[in-house]
Amino acid sequence: MMRRMLARWRADDRGMTTAEYAVGIMAAVAFAGLLMKVLTSQKVQAALTALVDRALA
């Protein structure tokens, strides 16, 4: 009886890993999109350019 319960528990859990990966990938893509939006803004580009100019001067 215990083996059956354990086998059922393992079988039910197989799809959870795939779902967790999907949620993780969606979160990573959303974060990358937000980061891209921030880094391409005029203010951030000006600040990064000034930082690089000071570092090279």
When pLDDT is averaged across residues 20-29 and rounded to a whole number, the result is: 92
Average pLDDT, the chain: 85
**How high is the pLDDT of residue 17?**
73
Cα–Cα distance measured from residue 11 to residue 3, given in angstroms and rounded to the nearest whole number: 12
Residues contacting residue 48 through CB under 8 Å, at least 6 positions apart: 39
Stated pTM of the model:
0.57
- The owner of tokens 């059922």 is 8
Residue 43 has pLDDT above 80, yes or no: yes
* Res 39 pLDDT > 60: yes
Residues 6 or more apart whose Cβ sits within 8 Å of residue 45 = 39
Q: Tell which wins on pLDDT, 57 or 10.
A: 57
